[in-house]
């Protein structure tokens, strides 16, 4: 394992991780028909750490999204993450600030074999009504918006040692401390970790007014998201999508791309492909029937889109499930 830039903190983090159990990355049962990852978090302290084992050919291959804030850290080997149209390559010890509202997934590549720590929480874990203004600063790394520039604390960064040390303590608190001591420790070390990220990314961070603008932007687009959820097999022209949200085509195109990280066409394809995976895995419908249900004019068109998205045909995907079963 490389220790460059970590001053021994990363090896100590690995020693903590070696005491814990990592689960195969199987989250299909937690994804709804749109790929939204529904993870129930405790109301009193909405925070969780997931420990996953990623192996080539044995991970959930679906684009997903969620409202939760999330950090991702590979431990043993490289990892490739897709967020919207962006593909990010990570090395052991890198800490990625997830662009959580964009559809994202770990890319299944040959040789993939690494444990991954995923830290997820809601903003309420950090601030609440009446909190001092300084508490909002902890969330700034998650709400900056510089397209094409993912926020990654690289393992070689001078601040990586502080982040690795905080994550190591956080894992100990999360998995080895009982009761209220657990929650208090998790929150304390989460704030330490977020403070490291603030200092690493402060030149790119958005002010709180921008954070609120982003939330309002997503709310303005909600009528379209609701429509697509019910009518994902239908074609919706840009003009009609803009009208649903009460915008001009130009304004809608700009706001939709900024909020989702993709064009309307790519988003519709994402929703259909999410449903395609669900139907292939959970129904006995023929591939031709599935293509028709999803609004494709013929099976060959469906096959091409599916292969472009997942790197294999629908029949190959279903055959792989049969082998795993």
pTM more than 0.95 = no
Same fold, 9-201 and 208-324: no
Q: How many residues does the chain have?
A: 325
Query: Which candidate, 29, 94, 85, 97, places its Cα nearest to that of 62?
Result: 29
Fold of 208-324: Arc Repressor Mutant, subunit A (1.10.10)
Residue range 220-228: mean pLDDT, rounded? 90
The whole-angstrom separation of Cα 270 and Cα 248 is: 24
Whether the Cβ atoms of residue 228 and residue 126 lie closer than 8 Å to each other: no
- Per-residue pLDDT tens digits for 184-213: 899 999 999 999 998 888 765 455 556 666
The domain segmentation of the chain, as residue ranges, is 9-201, 208-324
Q: What is the pLDDT of residue 127?
A: 75
Question: Nearest-CA neighbor of 278 among 54, 61, 23, 39?
Answer: 61
Candidates 3.40.50.300, 2.60.120.280, 3.40.720.10, 3.40.50.720; CATH matching 9-201:
2.60.120.280
């Amino acid at each position: 394992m490389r220790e460059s830039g970590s001053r021994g903190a990363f090896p100590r983090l690995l020693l903590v991780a070696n005491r814990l159990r990592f689960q195969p990355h199987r989250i299909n049962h937690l994804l709804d028909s749109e790929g939204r990852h529904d993870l129930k978090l405790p109301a009193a302290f909405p925070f969780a750490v997931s420990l996953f084992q990623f192996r080539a050919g044995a991970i959930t291959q679906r684009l997903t999204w969620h409202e939760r804030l999330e950090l991702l850290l590979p431990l043993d080997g490289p990892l490739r993450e897709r967020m919207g149209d962006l593909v990010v390559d990570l090395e052991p010890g890198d800490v990625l600030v997830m662009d959580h509202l964009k559809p994202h997934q770990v890319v299944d590549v040959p040789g993939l074999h690494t444990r991954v720590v995923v830290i997820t929480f809601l903003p309420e874990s950090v601030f609440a009504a009446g909190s001092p203004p300084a508490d909002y600063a902890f969330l700034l790394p998650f709400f900056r918006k510089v397209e094409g520039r993912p926020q990654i604390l690289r393992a070689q960064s001078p601040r990586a040692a502080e982040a690795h040390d905080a994550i190591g303590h956080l894992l100990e608190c999360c998995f080895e401390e009982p009761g209220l001591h657990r929650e208090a420790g998790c929150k304390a070390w989460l704030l330490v970790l977020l403070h490291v990220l603030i200092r690493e990314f402060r030149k790119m961070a958005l002010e709180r007014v921008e954070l609120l603008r982003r939330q309002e932007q997503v709310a303005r687009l909600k009528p379209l998201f609701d429509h697509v959820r019910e009518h994902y097999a239908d074609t919706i022209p840009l003009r009609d999508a803009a009208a649903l949200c009460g915008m001009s085509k130009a304004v809608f195109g700009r706001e939709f791309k900024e909020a989702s990280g993709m064009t309307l066409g790519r988003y519709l394809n994402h929703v259909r492909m999410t449903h395609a995976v669900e139907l292939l895995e959970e129904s006995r419908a023929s591939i031709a029937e599935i293509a028709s249900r999803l609004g494709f004019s013929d099976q060959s068109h469906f096959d091409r889109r599916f292969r472009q998205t997942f790197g294999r045909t629908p029949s190959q995907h279903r055959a792989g499930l049969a082998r795993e079963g």
